[in-house]
Amino acid sequence: MSLNWQASCSLALIQLRAKLLHEIRAYFYVNNVLEVETPLLCQSTGTDPYLDYFTSHYSILERDYYLQSSPEFAMKRLLATGIGSIYQITKAFRNGESGRYHNPEFTMLEWYRVGFDLQQLMNDVEQLLNPFLMVENFSEKAERIAYADIFKKHTGLNALQFDVSEYQACAESLGFPEASLLCALDHAAWLDFLFSHVVQQHLGQASLCMVFDYPACLPSLARMKLDNALLVERVELFIQGIEIGNGFFELTDVDEQIRRFDQDIMDRKNNGAVKIDKDERFLAALQSGLPDCSGIAIGIDRLLMIISQKSAIDEVLAFTIKNA
């Protein structure tokens, strides 16, 4: 038999992963953040318009369960019980996502800090990550930059005000004539396209980069900014051009959450994506009251790629989707 049974990555990387996980757990232990576990098999899941799910059949109930794509709803149900700050290191599953930075099954660190706003969460992220980022020529001081500022710097466009002809002209001049067809009149799609094709590669080259004050059309589960209706309280983390995390000052308003679910469900329908129902248990938890908190998810495999200076996620996984 010449079947390739060996590990994809080196023993050194398996050891590095173990050390990283140990140090993350030590950090949260010292900071009194409780480690929790939530189910991988779930009856409900997120309604994200662009996520595709795995399901598995449960024979006793004769129904399909989702393999979780993120532990956020379950963790928020724990938060609503008054558990306090919590974290989890877990596998998450996203169907169809495979490439240099994606494996359909990946390891996620997710945590919530009760009573923290977004700036406090960013301090927390900086404290946690800095010891790991002893990469050459890398500054310990994280860069914090507003979405609209960094977007303007690299595209010249106003991210908060959508002028389709200006966006088209910008894409043309930067060598992306196809963007007009792909993004049409969808402001969020334009922002995603231009950010990922033009802006992202410049971020986090000299230090951890945290982009905050996201445009209101990219809200995900962030609450609206109190003093500015054009912005939401969302942050994304970038290191060496790689997106490694996404966090929010969490939305606690159940009616707004229902509106966003409904919008997602409609978007999924229009995209021809599989129908997903709202997670009613999560909504009931929100209804009963989620404490003010900020939370963030970080991709552990990508963080390992950066720490070990590997160029593909396959190089830091013991077994990838191809030889799992």
Partner 1 sequence: MASYSTSEFKAGMKIMMDSDPCAIIENEFVKPGKGQAFSRVKIRNLKNGRVIERTFKSGESVEAADVVDVDMQYLYHDGEFFHFMQPESFEQFQADENAVGDSKLWLKDQAMCIVTLWNNAPISITPPNFVELEVTDTDPGLKGDTSGGGGKPATLETGAVVRVPLFVQIGELLKIDTRTGEYVSRAKA
**Interacting residue ranges for partner 1, rule: CB under 8 A:** 48, 50, 96-102, 175-176, 178-179, 182, 188-189, 191-193, 195-197, 200, 218, 220, 236, 243, 246
Residue closer to partner 1 by CB (options 48, 233) is 48
Please identify, using beta-carbon distances, which residue of 175 and 289 lies nearer to partner 1.
175
CA dist 122 → 130, 150, 252 (Å): 12, 18, 19
Cβ distance to partner 1 smaller for residue 260 or 281: 260
Compute the distance between CA of residue 171 and CA of residue 161 in angstroms, rounded to an integer.
16
Tell me the one-letter amino acid at 59: S
Structure tokens at 230: 């054009």
Closest of 215, 213, 143 to residue 186, by C-alpha: 215
Please say which residue, 46 or 65, places its beta carbon nearer to partner 1: 46
Q: Which tokens belong to 229?
A: 């209706």
- CB nearer to partner 1: give 96 or 131: 96
Task: Classify strands 86-93 and 34-35 as parallel, antiparallel or unpaired.
Answer: parallel
Output the smallest distance, CB 297 to partner 1, in A: 10
Specify the 3-state DSSP secondary structure of 316.
helix
Q: Which of 102, 14, 70 is nearest to 317 (CA)?
A: 14
**Strand, coil or helix: 91:** strand
Q: What residues pair up with 114 in beta bridges, in sequence order?
A: 293
Shortest CB 25 distance to partner 1, Å = 26
Q: What is the DSSP letter of 273?
A: P
To the nearest whole angstrom, how small is the minimum distance from the Cβ of residue 247 to partner 1?
A: 10
Q: Which helix (H) or strand (E) holds 125?
A: helix 118-129
Nearer to partner 1 (CB atom), residue 65 or residue 195: 195
